[in-house]
Amino acid sequence: MPNFLHELDVDLCRWLESQAVFFIATADAEGRINLSPKGTDSLRCIHGRSVAYLDLTGSGNETAAHLLADGRITLMACSFGAKPRILRIYGTGRTVRPGHAEWDDLYARFPPQESRRQIVCIEAESIQTSCGFGVPVAADGFMAREMMEPWAEKKGGQPGVRAYQLEKNRRSIDDLPTGIDA
């Protein structure tokens, strides 16, 4: 049975931030629904109704395009450990990029990443937990892929990553603007 919460308490924030993987879903009014896995110690609780994650550079930037077009976002995390749990945060999102007034304070919450692209901030409209009994247990846990930072270094660090973002991340697969060049 799902439980709806007014806000994330300290224990739930601690659990959420410890998850090795979480998922982000967004959509605009007419295009594709995007569902992306995230990880790499990139999720933080800001306060009881607000979370943020450090978004690393990828081949697309659907989340940013959908947030500009519609603003709706859902975050889902689920336990793959012995104690089952699913958490969903339904809300609105926005991106904060380097140079934005909030960037330095938000970015200081995360481990430094050359492959950084933006921080996605989510304001919860609804927070739900459920049992997670149907989610499998990953007995051996998860192992981080150590590929993003070497990739960013091969690109030449932040200048090369930025050039890649301007080339590959300006438009969504449905040809919506992402705001990456703003």
How far apart are alpha carbons 103 and 169 in whole angstroms? 19
What are the CA-CA distances from residue 22 to residues 66, 74, 135, 142, 167 (Å)?
A: 18, 11, 13, 12, 27
How far apart are alpha carbons 108 and 8 in whole angstroms? 21
Tokens 């970015």: give the residue.
107
Q: Look up residue 74 and give its two tokens.
A: 């859902």
pLDDT digits (tens, 9 = 90+) for 25-44: 999 999 999 999 999 899 99
DSSP 8-state symbol, 57: P
pTM of the full predicted structure? 0.95
- Closest alpha carbon to 37 in 54, 60, 51, 21: 21
How far apart are alpha carbons 119 and 64 in whole angstroms? 10
| Vertex 159: Cα angle to 157 and 161 (nearest 5) | 65
DSSP H helices in the chain: 10-18, 62-69, 103-107, 148-154, 158-168
Q: What is the mean pLDDT of residues 57-76?
A: 97
User: In the predicted model, what is the mean pLDDT of the chain?
Assistant: 95
- Closest alpha carbon to 57 in 131, 175, 174, 160: 160
Q: How many residues does the chain have?
A: 182
- Is it true that domain 3-168 has CATH number 2.30.110.10? yes
pLDDT digits (tens, 9 = 90+) for 91-135: 999 999 999 999 999 999 999 999 999 999 999 999 999 999 999
So where are the chain's domains?
3-168
